[in-house]
Structures are given as C-alpha cells and as structure tokens.
Structure 1
C-alpha cells in the first residue's frame, strides 16, 4: 500500500491526503482524485467513473464496478497504469 501511495504522490505531488470512506483518499483542487484500500484478495482502486472509462481497454482484464477496479493480490500491481490514471484524473481536476 505504501508503494501505491508513493506512485499517487509522485504523479500528483500537490494532492491532499486524507481518509475518506475509511480508506486513503486524495484530493486535488478540492475535488476527489483517487482512493484505494486493501482487502483480503485484492487492492480496490477508485478513480471515479471517468478515470476508469478512459482506461477501459487497459483495465479490461480486472474485475470492475462503477468507478472502481480490483487488482488481485496474486498478480503484479500495475503501478505504471495507476500512475497514468492519476495523471489523467489530475488533468481533469485542474480544469
């Protein structure tokens, strides 16, 4: 989880960290950026529907919900993809 935190903060160094909905949350320009949480078998990553729909092809082999994706713990965590999503969401939030 610390690695995901570092990836988020590298991609969005001005993001504000907090806890929201009981999980690490990041805001940029006072708007939600991303959230994530650890579960028994996966990392839940929440980048709002727009953050996921823009990367639908790259996220297609992961289990998803509206604005969420599950990264299984028995597979490598896609840190580069997380960084790309955070950069995309940062651009959205700064508009």
Structure 2
C-alpha cells in the first residue's frame, strides 16, 4: 500500500484478494462473537475495539498475515499455537496455514475476559 489507509475497508480493499478474504473471515468471526465492536485504524493496522479498548488487530504483509489478540491470550493459549510463529503480541499465519475459527474465537474470548476484568 502506498498511502496509509484511513479505514478498515480501505485497508482491506488494497490487499490481494486471497489475503483480503482471509482477514475478512477473521473480522467477521470477531464481530459475530463480540457484537458492538468498533472498527478503526490504529498503528496503521485494522483494529476492532471493545469497550473503547483494542480487542484485536490484523494485518497482511508480503509473506504472512498477523493476528494480534493480546499478549495475555497468546500466553494463555500458547499450547494451541505451536504450529505458528508467535511474538509477545502477534501470531503469524499464511494462506496455507490459516488460523482455525475455533482458535480465533478462543483467543478473542480470553481478551474479552481480561478487558471485562479491567486488566491493564
């Protein structure tokens, strides 16, 4: 992308169709699981907010996509993430090895729980 996107839709529209479809699948999963999320761009990434806090971020780069559910969720579910490259805050995946819907939902549920508990 040349210029920075100012909306989630603009960000997704600039992607390769296959990557776009995968990130739209994740977006739909999260918004179905957590109704009332707000969409924004934060740190240059599509962001879904819950209770005025970032719930998840998701991005696409040349070689992989990334999902940012929170360091708490990654740590708690680390045993389910052994097939993916992870950092403290992100899970990297590809079109060949996508994140299963149940795993995305589990990661989101952990972060919702932590936000509801007002964990900082």
TM value normalised by structure 2: 0.73
Q: Which has the higher contact order (CA 8 A, sep 6+)?
A: 1
By how many angstroms is 1:82 displaced? 0.6
By how many angstroms is 1:3 displaced? 0.7
TM value normalised by structure 1: 0.90
Q: Give the gaps of 5 or more residues in structure 2.
A: 1-22
Aligned residues: 95
Of 95, 98, 108, the residue aligned with 1:73 is 95
Please list every run of at least 4 consecutive aligned residues from structure 1 whose deviation after the TM superposition is greater than 2 angstroms: none
Q: Secondary structure at the match of 1:8?
A: helix
Tell which structure's C-alpha radius of gyration is larger: 2
Q: Give the gaps of 5 or more residues in structure 1.
A: none
- 1:49 maps to what in 2? 71
Q: Secondary structure at the match of 2:62?
A: coil
CA-atom RMSD in angstroms: 1.3
